[in-house]
């Protein structure tokens, strides 16, 4: 059990000092630069178990210290009032590409930023004033704007820009709508993805239908890039590698990456395992992402195939069917339909096909570090708001497998350190 006992301000501050020291020393030992707000700071912490554990404790204590220092009334007032503007500001910075309006190794005046973004200078000043309070951009002594660590990370990583765009433009309007959605539905969330809170903000169409149908595919491209940006911290691609024995599959084994987006996960696995072949399956509008996600030298082993996972599975008897962040997108009835299509294609029994599911397995409250519990809780809410789906506990996963086919058995469940999700290995037993 991760304890969050009630500590005084000073006790918390002492805990923070001790945890910060531990983190600093560990970073020194492994030769990783110390965190700072300077633009040349590494955008992510290293994938080092000791550093990550110290970091989780530090964030937990810092959140509590913030809560105590703020006090209940201001915590409530500020949270409701400030957080929506913090979110909105990020959206404006991203939509109008402030990231490139300020040169990464130089400064820009407010007038120059206004000219480059096409925004009036008063708005530029208002938006930057708030974002600078969170150290996203800074004003130098000459009154010009310079980058900080966060704005520089955004500038350097186009995928992160898509991450912000997807969350703040595709999903956030539905979050604002969720309470009204629940009220209108008698206190329940709808079970039809075309009637989710997000769908209500998208003209009554399911999110994936909108992503797939929009214009020249820009919206699905942005979504695919947002997914591809999930490669660090709680969603580090390393966790996919660590959570299953890919090397043990043997030469020539085929992995079907069902709903694999452009193929960023398969490409990463293929680079590490030269003996494996991958078929990445997704909707037609995602195919354009394949060229960006899969390097030329891997394309003979990582192929893209247009496939709707509610239709008959064309790749029969594959070694592994990988479902990464797929089933959590769907209510149980549709998740069952996806699994049944795979069951029909699997080789049963010992040495037969396996399904590898990578998704959140909801942990009990207080059993994982608080930052991970917050990520899991938000993922669960996001599925509810956007897709009428939800994250599942271990028991719910087992129930889903059983409902899909009584021969499907959860054989292994690995939670890689620091990962918000888990990797589950599912086999199809011979006999019913």
Ligand X SMILES: C[S@@+](CC[C@H](N)C(=O)[O-])C[C@H]1O[C@@H](n2cnc3c(N)ncnc32)[C@H](O)[C@@H]1O
Contact set with ligand X (CB under 6 A): 208, 224, 227, 259-261, 265, 282-283, 286, 308-310, 324-326, 329
**Annotation marks residue 85 as catalytic:** no
Residue 355's φ and ψ, nearest 5 degrees, are -110, 130
Q: How far is the CB of 228 from ligand X (least distance, A)?
A: 7
**Nearest Cα residue to 356 out of 272, 246, 231, 247:** 246
**Nearest Cα residue to 427 out of 355, 334, 324:** 355
Is there a contact between 370 and 63 (Cβ–Cβ < 8 Å)? yes
CA dihedral over 113, 115, 121, 124, signed as positive or negative: negative
User: CA-CA distance, 325 to 207, in Å (whole number)?
Assistant: 15
Buried b (16+ CB within 10 A) or exposed e, 32-53: eeeeeeebebeeebebbebbbb
For the chain, the 3-state helix, strand and coil shares in percent, each to the nearest 5, are 55, 10, 35
Please identify, using beta-carbon distances, which residue of 2 and 159 lies nearer to ligand X.
159
User: CA-CA distance, 279 to 289, in Å (whole number)?
Assistant: 14
| Residue nearest to ligand X as judged by C-beta position | 259
Is there a contact between 414 and 398 (Cβ–Cβ < 8 Å)? no
Q: How far is the CB of 157 from ligand X (least distance, A)?
A: 16
Q: How far is the CB of 213 from ligand X (least distance, A)?
A: 12
- CA distances to 178, 187, 208, 325, 358 from 199, rounded to whole Å, are 11, 17, 10, 20, 25
Beta bridge partners of 392: 361
Q: How far is the CB of 286 from ligand X (least distance, A)?
A: 5
- Residue 357 is inside which H or E element, if any? strand 354-359
Task: Kindly name the residue from 166, 264, 325, 328 that is annotated as catalytic.
Answer: 328
Please identify, using beta-carbon distances, which residue of 137 and 208 lies nearer to ligand X.
208
- CA distances to 34, 229, 261 from 42, rounded to whole Å, are 9, 16, 27
Mark out the alpha helices in 365-427 (DSSP H runs).
370-387, 394-404
Please identify, using beta-carbon distances, which residue of 4 and 316 lies nearer to ligand X.
316
Is there a contact between 145 and 110 (Cβ–Cβ < 8 Å)? yes
Active centre residues (catalytic):
328
């Amino acid at each position: 059990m991760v304890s969050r006992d009630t500590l005084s301000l000073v006790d918390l501050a002492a805990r923070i000092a001790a945890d910060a020291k531990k983190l600093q020393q560990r970073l020194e030992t492994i030769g990783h630069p110390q965190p700072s707000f300077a633009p040349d700071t590494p955008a992510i912490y290293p994938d080092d178990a000791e550093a990550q554990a110290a970091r989780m404790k530090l964030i937990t204590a810092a959140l509590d210290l913030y809560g105590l220092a703020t006090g209940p009334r201001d915590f409530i007032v500020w949270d409701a009032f400030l957080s929506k503007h913090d979110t909105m500001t990020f959206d404006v910075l991203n939509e109008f590409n402030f990231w490139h309006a300020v040169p990464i190794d130089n400064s820009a005046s407010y007038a120059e930023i206004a000219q480059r973004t096409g925004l009036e200078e008063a708005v530029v000043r208002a938006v930057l004033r708030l974002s600078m309070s969170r150290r996203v951009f800074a004003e130098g002594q000459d009154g010009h704007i310079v980058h900080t660590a966060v704005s520089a990370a955004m500038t350097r990583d186009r995928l992160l820009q898509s991450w912000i765009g997807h969350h703040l433009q595709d999903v956030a309007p539905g979050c604002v709508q969720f309470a009204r959605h629940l009220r209108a539905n008698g206190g329940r969330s709808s079970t039809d993805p075309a009637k989710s809170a997000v769908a209500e903000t998208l003209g009554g169409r399911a999110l994936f239908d909108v992503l797939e149908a929009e214009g020249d595919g820009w919206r699905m491209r942005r979504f695919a890039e947002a997914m591809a940006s999930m490669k660090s911290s709680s969603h580090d691609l390393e966790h996919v590698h660590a959570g299953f024995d890919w090397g043990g599959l043997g030469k020539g084994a085929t992995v079907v990456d069902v709903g694999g987006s452009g193929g960023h996960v398969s490409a990463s696995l293929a680079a590490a395992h030269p003996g494996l072949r991958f078929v990445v399956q997704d909707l037609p509008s995602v195919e354009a992402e394949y060229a960006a996600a899969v390097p030329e030298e891997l394309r003979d082993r990582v192929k893209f195939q247009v496939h709707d996972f509610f239709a008959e599975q064309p790749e029969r008897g594959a070694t592994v069917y990988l479902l990464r962040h797929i089933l959590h997108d769907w209510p149980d009835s549709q998740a069952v339909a996806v699994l049944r299509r795979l069951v029909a294609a699997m080789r049963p029994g010992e040495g037969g096909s396996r399904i590898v599911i990578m998704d959140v397995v909801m942990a009990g409250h207080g059993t994982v570090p608080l930052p991970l519990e917050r990520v899991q809780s938000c993922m669960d809410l996001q599925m509810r708001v956007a897709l009428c789906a939800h994250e599942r506990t271990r028991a719910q996963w087992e129930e889903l497998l059983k409902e899909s086919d009584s021969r499907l058995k959860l054989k292994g469940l690995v939670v890689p350190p620091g990962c918000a999700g888990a990797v589950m290995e599912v086999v199809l037993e011979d006999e019913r």
